[in-house]
Homo-oligomer: A and B are copies of this chain.
Amino acid sequence: MAQTAPEGAPQASGRLAASRLLDVAQAAGVSLRTASRVLNDDPRVAPDTRQRVQEAMLELRFEPDAMARSLRAGTDTAIGFVVESIADPFFAEVIDAVEQEMSRHGRPVLVTSTRRDPEWERDVIGRMMQRRVAGLLICPTSDDHSWLDTRRVPIVLIDRPAPGLSADLVEIDDHRAAFDAVAHLIAHGHRRIAYVGDTPAIPTSAARLRGYRDALAHHGIEVDGQLVHCECATSQAAAEAVSALIGGSRPPAAIPPAAIPPTAILSATTRASLGVVPALHSAGRTDIALVSFGDFPMADALRPAVTVVNHPGHEVGRAAAARLLARLGQPGLPVERIQLPARMIERGSGELRR
């Protein structure tokens, strides 16, 4: 009987003990197994027994121990989400959507960031595996994920592929979105269109750059290397690129100015836009047409309001979560690459005519 102990006595840790299924069973005068059946809605329980047990559960405020269940099941119900940075607005949106979708299915979400450090990434993914998470959503940082094994845990990649790993991927159609944005500018009379974006070493950025080139080519416009600034990893760098492009009043020396300035700019990342927009404004060159890849809060308060290609974080998150859930229900699904369209939001800056 010493077994029955709890009766409100604090444990060693000082925590209040939660009631166990065994306590419930004893209170209801049934065996542990029967209480377990009630808990799991097993039909093979007599109605009055069921009721007695349920009353005991309420009485004792019983809450099943999720970890004990997981141990038995061999896998946690939680899923792990690995991103570069949680504070990034795009990922924050993705996380939000994933969490909503997952919690509708009773699955908690473990969120962790890699801090753009490949070693740390491997570390945190390892920790997730130790927890036996049910599945993983990963936005890859490192350029080698061959050590991961999709047979060990289902994985869905987000926003970019993971070299060396064959897994589902949910991304936006970067090539097409960039292509459309440039076509949109061309349709408004522009022929000298600049590109400001991140390094093509990132597949996502590479796709956007290709979209830019292809759109120009498709309209018979030759690409002018002077108009392409594809190593702008910071908004600072993007601002400097703009100065170089428009022959800014404060030349940053390092970058030679473009011989003939552009009449329109495609800013290929939100981070770049946060540099491009101030640069254009402070140079008084708001006459230059601009399409920004990625929305930002003040985009429609500016004059002109900034036309953007919306990076639909919520939809990406929802799709990735749905895919992972599907794979959890049916492990044998073939690997799939899901490309979501990115809608353009016309606000003015992208519709300026030459």
Contacts and interface: CB of A to CB of B under 8 A. Distances in A.
Copies in the complex: 2
A302 B303 CA distance: 9
A307 to B, nearest CB: 15
Contact of A67 (B71, B88, B115): B71
A78 B67 CA distance: 12
Contact of A131 (B11, B96, B108): B108
Nearest to A124: B103
Contacts of A16: 149, 151-152
Given A115-B100, A152-B16, A131 B66 contact: yes
A38 interface: no
Contacts of A55: none
A112 interface: yes
A107 to B, nearest CB: 10
A113 B100 CA distance: 8
Given A15-B75, A74-B13, A300-B278, A63 B129 contact: yes
Given A110-B78, A297-B274, A298-B302, A96 B86 contact: yes
Nearest to A115: B100
A110 to B, nearest CB: 5
Contact of A132 (B66, B274, B281, B331): B66
B297 A281 contact: no
Contacts of A277: 298, 301
A262 to B, nearest CB: 20
Interface string A292-325: 0000111111110000000001000000000000
Nearest to A129: B63
Contact of A110 (B108, B127, B297): B108
Interface in A3-49: 10-11, 13-16, 18
A132 B13 CA distance: 13
Contact of A303 (B75, B131, B281): B281
Contacts of A334: none
B113 A111 contact: no
Nearest to A108: B110
Given A89-B92, A96-B113, A301-B302, 19 more contacts: A14-B151, A15-B153, A16-B151, A18-B152, A66-B130, A67-B67, A67-B132, A85-B96, A87-B92, A87-B93, A87-B313, A99-B111, A108-B127, A108-B128, A274-B297, A277-B298, A278-B301, A281-B303, A298-B302
